[in-house]
A and B are shown apart, each in its own frame.
Chain A
Amino acid sequence: MWLFTRFTSQPGRWRRLGAPVRAGALLLCTLAFLAAVPSQHQHHHHQQQHPMGSGEHYSRVRTSYRVPDVTLVDRTGATVSLRKLLEVDEPVLLQFIFTTCTTICPAMSATFAAARQELAGDRVRMISITIDPHHDTPERLQDYASRYGAGPGWFFLTGELDDIQTVQKAFDAFWVNKMQHQPRTYLRRSSGEPWLRLSGLLSSAQLVAEQEHQEHQAE
């Protein structure tokens, strides 16, 4: 490809080569081009399957968050202290969602559901916190949870708007317009350890791998 562009970009030099050489060069270039296509296609496949901002292309940040002392409400209507819920030795996976979200939340929740099956043998605590508490009442969260077959160990939390926003800000996940929220998943091995923040949409296998990798580090 380099040859081709180098010569075509300098027509004078190209003409000086003479007809047979030019024909040979062209043939060579064509062959090189055809040979390049599959590899380029693969490359393209690799890149485009995870276009920016979504897909398998996600970024990882390890950081600490100070969990605010707020009381939220779970899908059964019971009040829950967020700190207490997070003070566990088992791994925690946490996401922010809302039930009328049309694009990323169903994907995030479906990924949680799929990963949950994979991780069935392990003790993990999954938490989905709504960022639309004025709409997402415990009943609506219960409905939403049942769409993903969420069993015990997967918490869905709502609460007062101020409290929810405090939590969002604490996790660096606050957006003024809820429709502009971004897909983030937070993993933590156990109480007191830093969080691993994954930005972007993940496949189930990726989430499971991240989780297991984290567990593996513990040993």
Chain B
Amino acid sequence: MNGVRGRPSRRWVGRWVAGLTLHLLALGAVSLSAVAGQPPADPEIGQRIYRQGILPSGEVVRATIQGDVEVRGSQFHCASCHRRSGFGSSEGGVYVPPVTAPRLFADRLLDRAELFREFYQEVQPPSFRARVRDPRVRPAYGDASLAVALRQGRDPTGRELDPLMPRYRLSDEEMAHLVAYLKTLGAEPDPGVDEGAIHFATVVTPGVDPAELGALRAVLDGYLRRKNNDTRGQLAHPNHSPWHRDDFLRGYREWKLEIWQLEGPSDSWSEQLDTLYRQRPVFALLAGLGVGDWGEIHRFCERRELPCLFPNTDLPVVTSPPGDYSLYLSKGLSGEAEALAHYLQTNRTLRLLQVYRDSEASSRPAGVLRAALQGGATELVERKVEGELDAAFWRDLIAEVKPTDLVLWLGESEFEALSLLPQSSAGPRRIYLSFALLGEVPRGLPPELSSKVFLTYPFALPGREIPRRYRVRAWLRSRRIEPTHPRVQLNAYFALSITDHALLHMLENFSRDLFVESVEHEAENALNPGVFPHLSLGPGQRFASKGCYIVKLSPQSAGGIEAVSGWIVP
């Protein structure tokens, strides 16, 4: 009863404060018009303030948090908490509300579906749960009330914002730029979604084994069939779907997925992708199969601001900082080379001979290893080779260089040459090869050679199964999908299931930035189907698996290998 009686008076207070705010608004409008002589507000400058905390002067914005802690824009810009999408976050037991244009510049009303993740999906402390249940309505923000919120931390009802919200020191001009950007933030839904369907594509480069593509397609088709049947069932029974689902029907769409098969040399892919995109704009690229460098596809996605989730590629783009929209399973061969460098550098001085070919798959990891070993105790000798590598070549090379260890960035076809290496005790003690380049564990080597062979192995060790792997395999079996290419198939399942989870949380907010942020969040949950020992992301992280084992050949062990290192995270 007390609560009911208390309510009208609280509302009056709200009105009283709102009235006061109106006066403040009017005052603010006067102060804004006073600077009318300045150049018009530029949303692009505002975007830089929002995303990087950099003011038009090039300085970083300054602010105060927690009442007395001075911070700089490099630590605390708007996007760090409200994120690039503007949809906010719920990290660390703190609820950060959305600040997209449709939310800021409209009255805030109550909608429990909006807070689906916060309500149902997260382990949060009681204080957080109380916070999201606290019915905070407010009138729409205007230019002046937004300035009050950003500078003094007070919303249009007069309520103090959380002390974690920085109180920014912004001039009128800087404020105008920022507000101009906020008016565009999330104002339009992103392409690739219409009333009935959400569109995706899977990119396949030339040179992919047709059997591998067939295995991938079987998973994609099977997943979409199940997903769309489920969605149809939900939509056909409005008001009857179980529990909370009625709240979310407006976000449900049929999933449609096309295979985008690229052709010809990689420098023509960008144009092909543009043509395909113009014909059928998609919301995101899912899974994918690539032979060779993924760079052209990466750059297309960054240019179009198109999320690309977890393609199967050994050669992702590994730049610093990474892309905004390209999320990878791992760093591929570059990651293997980094881990190997880390392994070689611990406690040993070596004379290392690195042999590689001109191809990207061989020369790139060689380059990464070279850079990583620079300045260390390891002495590195390198040979770029071409043509057939016969026994005489290896004999002469080893006699000349006298290496203690060999690193060979060579593929399957080099097996023969490997077994022709001289077996004398003066030869190299260890031979390092990449499992990804070999494609499989070498078998049938002469024992004196096989005891010297070590592999970089970026996957979960055989015999150490991850629980979810059984569920996903059971799913494949129940749909009569043969696990002929388990890595590609399980990785595709991961890309699809994480998309499923992320979209569920987004409701009808079809923002690609929000999608990427939701995937970053979901990757931390138990969706790993077991190709890699650990998968996780975080804000801005772009490689879900971050390490690699070094293994030796061990015919009696599961999978024919045995780890000689822990999970190396370089």
Is the CB–CB distance between A55 and B163 below 8 Å? yes
Q: Residues 92-113 of chain A: 1 if any B CB is under 8 Å from the residue's CB, otherwise 0?
A: 0000001011111111011100
* Docked complex Cα distance between A49 and B83 (Å): 23
Is the CB–CB distance between A45 and B160 below 8 Å? yes
Question: Which residues on the A side are within 8 Å of B534 (C-beta)?
Answer: 134, 161
- In the complex, whether B538 has a CB less than 8 A from a CB of chain A is yes
Min CB–CB distance A211 → chain B (angstroms): 15
The stretch of A20-28, A80-88, A185-193, A200-208 that contacts the partner chain: A200-208
Looking at the complex, which one of B69, B125, B567 makes contact with A114 (CB distance below 8 Å)? B69
Min CB–CB distance A136 → chain B (angstroms): 9
Question: Which residues on the B side are within 8 Å of A100 (C-beta)?
Answer: 538-541
- In the complex, whether B13 has a CB less than 8 A from a CB of chain A is yes
- In the complex, whether A169 has a CB less than 8 A from a CB of chain B is no
Within 8 A of B (CB), among A159-198: 160-161, 175-183
Q: Residues 153-165 of chain B: 1 if any A CB is under 8 Å from the residue's CB, otherwise 0?
A: 0000011101110
* Docked complex Cα distance between A56 and B68 (Å): 11
Task: Specify which of B71, B122, B130 lies most central, judged by the most chain A CB atoms within 10 Å of its CB.
Answer: B71
Chain B: interface size category: 35 or more
Is the CB–CB distance between B163 and A102 below 8 Å? no
Cβ-closest chain A residue relative to B544: A134
Interface residue SS majority, chain B = loop
Question: Which residues on the B side are within 8 Å of A52 (C-beta)?
Answer: 126-128, 130-131
Cβ-closest chain A residue relative to B70: A114
Is the CB–CB distance between A201 and B163 below 8 Å? yes
Looking at the complex, which one of A5, A105, A134, A204 makes contact with B536 (CB distance below 8 Å)? A134
* Docked complex Cα distance between A40 and B17 (Å): 12
The stretch of B72-80, B359-367, B392-400, B449-457 that contacts the partner chain: B72-80
Is the CB–CB distance between A134 and B569 below 8 Å? yes
* Docked complex Cα distance between A122 and B524 (Å): 40
Given contacts A48-B160, A178-B524, A182-B92, 19 further A-B contacts (CB under 8 A): A41-B13, A48-B159, A53-B128, A54-B162, A55-B163, A56-B66, A98-B538, A100-B538, A100-B541, A101-B91, A102-B89, A103-B96, A135-B536, A177-B524, A177-B525, A179-B92, A181-B93, A201-B66, A204-B68
Listed by A's residue number, 24 A-B pairs whose Cβ atoms lie within 8 Å are: A9-B5, A41-B13, A44-B159, A48-B159, A48-B160, A49-B160, A49-B163, A53-B93, A53-B130, A54-B127, A56-B67, A100-B538, A104-B92, A107-B69, A109-B75, A110-B65, A114-B68, A132-B536, A134-B536, A160-B566, A177-B524, A179-B90, A180-B123, A200-B127
Closest 6 CB pairs of A and B: A53-B127, A104-B92, A52-B127, A100-B538, A55-B163, A203-B66
Q: Which residues of B are at the interface with A, using a C-beta cutoff of 8 A?
A: 5, 9, 12-13, 16-17, 65-71, 74-76, 80-81, 83, 89-96, 122-128, 130-131, 158-160, 162-164, 521, 524-526, 534, 536, 538-541, 546-547, 566-567, 569-570
Q: Which residues of A are at the interface with B, using a C-beta cutoff of 8 A?
A: 1, 4-5, 9, 33, 37, 40-41, 44-45, 48-57, 98, 100-107, 109-111, 114, 132-135, 137, 147-148, 160-161, 175-183, 200-205
